[in-house]
Structure 1
Amino acid sequence: MVQLTRLFVISRVFFMVFLISGAAHGENSSNEGTIAPIIQRDAAADDNVGQAIQAHLSPLTTSFPPLLTAPRHKRVDVSRMVLDFYSHRGYRAAWTNEGDTVQLFASLRATQVDGLNPADFHIDELAASRTLMQADSATPEQRAAFDVAATHTFLTALLQLRRGKVDPSRLDIHWNFDPADVDPREDVNKFFIALDAHDVAGAFAQAPPQEAVYRGLREGLAQLRKVHDVGGWPKVAEGQSLKPGMDDPAVAQLRARLVAGGFLEPRLARGAKYDGAVIAAVKKYQAEQYLGADGVAGATTLAALNVSVDARIDQVRVNMERARWLLYKLQGTFVIVDIAGYKVAMYRDGKPIWRSRVQVGKPFRNTPVFQSEITYVTFNPTWTVPPTILKEDVIPKIQRNPGYLAANHIRVIDREGAVLDPSSVDWSNPRGVSLRQDAGPDSSLGQVVIRFPNDYAIYLHDTPHRELFSKSMRATSSGCIRVENPLQLVELLFNDPVRWDSAGIQKQLAKGKTENIRLPVKVPVLLAYWTVDLSNDGRVTFKPDVYGYDSAVLRGLNLPSKLPILDLLRAGAPAVVLNPK
């Protein structure tokens, strides 16, 4: 109860401080090159260490725009927050409690369980500075340097755990998952409250996503590292397909690999016969890897089996980073498309209520990653052929087969909307025309389109190409998402069992009229990209990186963090400036 009371008091103080700050910024809004301290102080801090801390940080007071007028959706600038933190407390040292620093070092080392690299945080240098700072001969500048470096490291590590190390907007200029109504500075305040409450370890425990899927990835990462520590998985000889009925030394290697991966019982490890148990295990592995589950260990299956455990560890790390970017979004009612997993799901109150297979864009016409809101549904849609598909796909077909347009119920439309005779168009250089396919069961969009605003002309829709849903790899569209059971999703989106039940939807379709019907409530939709899954028994399983996105995220994860610790820890350099970038 004492602890809770303390946290409540601290929270109230921080809240009042922000109110005071807002008023101060309102009075000084014309001075956009400075940051007004949250608590205005005309005099320097009383103690020498505080004066040294202020000397460290004073050059930053002209480096940033006013804190509370900065865009709320931008990623936190750690240096600015460090400056603001010390100005809150009149530049008093924050790391004077021995237990706090012990918790800090232990927590920094433990970031590896979340796929981060503890070496990023220069723990050894920070520990050496702490030892120096504890000596009787330590100068105020050395004490101040350790204090500011510890705070900067503390905040950097927690923000990486909370929202990710890699900035996704630098990997994808169209990234739009950072909502304006989520202010990351609220997280920062919680971290500093935990520090004042001497609960550094608690801050680290609460920083990562708390969802079960994240815990599953963390446990999977730990299991993979155990495999790494004993030398990795057994290799299987490549060069020939391993098939049912074979008796071959390579089958013995395959058995060992399947046992190591948890697909075959350990008691079946011995032997070189490709029997029923091996067939079943190979099929299970293939299904989880999005490979054709035929029970034959061909070239593609063997290559997947021989991917090193180090590579799989990195794949899990990459997807834990994506989880830190996105899991906070998965609340309430929403639709999420798993692009690399070729599936879509709808959630209500945070729980899945419907799933379906999808087809997504080919690698050279990939489905983009973004978020939007589903606003309306088009029944019996017509399809206007997009320019890229027109140029690269349809015109070559017309040139080869003049009857193509009629066979596919496609009309040629001029700029005024008039229908043209296809024979009047020069198809070697068509200008000022568009192609529109009539509504109907054989239309490229099928019976229904689920629409949401975006800059890519992307939507969810029905399709006549239903045979492709049986394939394991379903990157087969030109960018839009083809849904196997779209009418079921439409019924759930309307959520109106009186008018828009299954019978009501069929009645609407039977009209044969192209009509847009708005949803009574907009439903968020997220198009996301994950290259791992969690199986029903909790194992991490792996998908092909169909668009090759993992490598850029991994590079960002492995890139050393730009922390100013080494500069800060130089003895006798009180005016060293934190790198604001």
Structure 2
Amino acid sequence: MHETQRQSQSTITKCIGMLAACGVLTFMVNAPASAQQTLPVSTQSALIALPNTQNPAEAEKRLPLAEFYHHVGQKLVWQDSARVDALVDALQGLADDGLTPSHYGVGELKADFQQSHSQDAAAQAVFDLGATRALLKALDHVQNGKLNPHDVVPGWDGPSRLKTLPVAGIAQAVMQGDIEQAFARARPQRPYYSPLRQALSAYRDLAAQGSVPSFPPREKALRPGERDDDVVALRRRLTYWGEPGLLVGNPEAYPQVRIEELDLREFDAELEAAVKRFQRRHLLETDGVVGRKTRQALNTSIKTRVEQLRVNLERGRWVAPWLAREPHVWVDIAGYRMEYVRPNGERWSSHIVVGSSRRETPVIHSEITRLTVNPSWTLPPTIVREDILPKVRQNPDYLAEQGITVINYSGEVVDASEIDWASPGNIMLRQPSGSSNPLGDVVMRFPNNAMVYLHDTPAKGLFGRDRRALSSGCVRVEGARELARMLLQDTGSRYQLNALINTSRSDINVNLPRHIPLALHYLTTWPDDEGDVTFREDIYRRDDRILSALNQR
């Protein structure tokens, strides 16, 4: 051993002794026994001496630091400026993932690197471990999410972490100097993530350019074919949101007219098409008319859209492992749609009606286990208490008019006229199967604590609305019979749906031979089938809690 190496080793050994005597000694996390035995003293001292700004038992206990150094041959890897610069660049790119680069020490890395190289080997080892910690922490957050969804999503019933970091591949990328490739591999490899990330980058650039005047309030909607000064304001707002060619003429669209003579006050066909595209991206009725809802969307601040994208990139990291499962049923609550990915890869989608803001549809991870055909409906206690009892007290014949029977908890039918509706006691209300039953012809059931299920409905007209947060928590499915038929077919059931519906029996329970994974998720920004990012109303006001947690260091 060279003399300088012996001196450095002696210095670091003294550091270990001092830290141990002070009770500061900590243990390496997630390290194989072989890695613990062979780690050099310099790396051990760095693990000990590196300060933790967060609770190491919670925030960073997953970081496989010792495993990383095992894969790089117990060598310090951040000892040249080019590699440190590559790490800084990669951490800066976290802004497009909706994360905050400064939370990973990006602003101090270069200065700390220079300072460590003006000091001894122990300081260099401390810097090396700090840089590796920043790398692994960032990759963990990009892959799995920064937040634990249990902490910020009411009723989250899924696992908080589904994947461990591919440490061997990360180590190889670092040694090859390709830090960005490690981040690219860590990001969810699902078709929705890249469009969300690109949209965030575009909207952040837009925010840096400043804003334009809002579209003004009007007593009447602005319609295609009108000529008005507000049309110019509309053109400016749509241009601000990325629609090209609305403030200058298109020579292909107007071949006979000089560009400078075009009347920007005219609500022409080209502008109408742009309005419809904007409405489609905001889940509004695509009628080309600028009414109240469209005006509100036009005037939303760019800051709000950036925050929405950040929140939903985080949600996208949580759900990525689940969406890799096939087949599965995916319920997009705030998007008012669902999708069934069949075993053969075919995708079937449908409009849905979800819970109102008073009775929210929860986030659920479960499996569809059975169907109920020709279901009767036992009214949930909340609906009985808040909806039905006030109506019965006003109209004693209400239950008879709706075909609802009263049942005691022994299962016996009770005469409604004998009930004291001011204090009804322990009763249940049940509506038999039939054309007026709110559950329609079929219910798809899955274990959950919220008594929520997917079901048919006789109120088909509700699916035509642009905002469909209208139910008491369950999910009404347009085309529920078709979904049920596919579930029976794809799971190998011997039952035929139409034959079951056409019998005179009610509450026919059919167990599926194979359970189908199902998830209900809440997403306020998400790409559509064409990859265009859509913005949805935060109907349950859930975004702020996640945003606040993301902003905390």
Provide the TM-score with structure 1 as the length reference: 0.80
Identity %: 34
Rounded to whole Å, the distance in 1 between the matches of 2:470 and 2:518 is 21
Partner residue, 1:487: 481
Contact 1:240–1:298 (CA<8 Å) still a contact in 2?
Answer: no
Cα deviation 1:84-128 (Å, max 9, x = unaligned):
655888975343455532321221112122222212222231211
Q: What are the equivalent positions in structure 2 for 1:364-379 lying under 5 Å apart?
A: 364-379=358-373
User: Secondary structure of the residue that 2:207 maps to in structure 1?
Assistant: helix
Contact 1:361–1:477 (CA<8 Å) still a contact in 2?
Answer: yes
Is 1:558 paired with 2:551? yes
Partner residue, 2:414: 420
Partner residue, 1:392: 386
1:542 maps to amino acid: F
Among candidates 205, 208, 225, match of residue 226 of structure 1: 205
Range with bigger deviation, 235-244 or 159-168: 235-244
User: Secondary structure of the residue that 1:123 maps to in structure 2?
Assistant: coil
Partner residue, 1:132: 115
1:194 CA drift (Å): 3.8
Partner residue, 2:95: 112
Is 1:446 paired with 2:440? yes
Rounded to whole Å, the distance in 1 between the matches of 2:59 and 2:72 is 20
Cα deviation 1:505-558 (Å, max 9, x = unaligned):
111101131210011210001101111233565432211111111111221222
Rounded to whole Å, the distance in 2 between the matches of 1:409 and 1:543 is 38
1:458 maps to amino acid: V
1:425 CA drift (Å): 0.4
Is 1:100 paired with 2:83? yes
Partner residue, 1:68: none
Range with bigger deviation, 373-382 or 270-279: 270-279
Q: What are the equivalent positions in structure 2 for 1:177-196 lying under 5 Å apart?
A: 177-178=158-159, 182=162, 184-188=163-167, 190-195=169-174
Rounded to whole Å, the distance in 1 between the matches of 2:442 and 2:282 is 31
Partner residue, 1:3: none
Contact 1:335–1:346 (CA<8 Å) still a contact in 2?
Answer: yes
User: Secondary structure of the residue that 2:192 maps to in structure 1?
Assistant: helix
Q: What are the equivalent positions in structure 2 for 1:340-355 lying under 5 Å apart?
A: 340-348=334-342, 351-355=345-349
Partner residue, 1:148: 129
1:39 CA drift (Å): 2.9
Cα deviation 1:433-482 (Å, max 9, x = unaligned):
11111111211111100000000000000111111111110000000000
Contact 1:54–1:91 (CA<8 Å) still a contact in 2?
Answer: no
Range with bigger deviation, 115-124 or 378-387: 115-124
1:305 maps to amino acid: L
Partner residue, 1:28: none
Rounded to whole Å, the distance in 2 between the matches of 1:403 and 1:325 is 50
User: Secondary structure of the residue that 2:210 maps to in structure 1?
Assistant: coil
1:221 maps to amino acid: L
Partner residue, 1:433: 427
Distance 1:156 1:251, change over 3 A: same
Rounded to whole Å, the distance in 2 between the matches of 1:509 and 1:46 is 72
Rounded to whole Å, the distance in 1 between the matches of 2:504 and 2:109 is 71
Distance 1:254 1:54, change over 3 A: closer
Distance 1:516 1:362, change over 3 A: same
1:227 CA drift (Å): 2.5
Among candidates 227, 231, 235, match of residue 255 of structure 1: 235
Range with bigger deviation, 148-157 or 109-118: 109-118
Is 1:321 paired with 2:301? no
Q: What are the equivalent positions in structure 2 for 1:10-29 lying under 5 Å apart?
A: none
2:396 maps to amino acid: P
Among candidates 158, 171, 191, match of residue 212 of structure 1: 191
1:34 CA drift (Å): 9.8
Provide the TM-score with structure 2 as the length reference: 0.84
Contact 1:463–1:483 (CA<8 Å) still a contact in 2?
Answer: yes
Cα deviation 1:58-105 (Å, max 9, x = unaligned):
99xxx86xxxxxxxxxx8734763356558889753434555323212
User: Secondary structure of the residue that 1:185 maps to in structure 2?
Assistant: coil
Contact 1:38–1:88 (CA<8 Å) still a contact in 2?
Answer: no
Rounded to whole Å, the distance in 2 between the matches of 1:149 and 1:300 is 49
Cα deviation 1:277-302 (Å, max 9, x = unaligned):
44444344334322344443223321
Distance 1:112 1:457, change over 3 A: same
2:499 maps to amino acid: K
Cα deviation 1:156-184 (Å, max 9, x = unaligned):
1101110111221101252122288x4x3
1:139 maps to amino acid: D
Distance 1:259 1:179, change over 3 A: closer
Structure 1 unaligned blocks of 5 or more: 1-32, 65-74, 561-581
Is 1:307 paired with 2:300? yes
1:282 maps to amino acid: V
Contact 1:491–1:500 (CA<8 Å) still a contact in 2?
Answer: no
Partner residue, 2:258: none
Distance 1:496 1:225, change over 3 A: closer
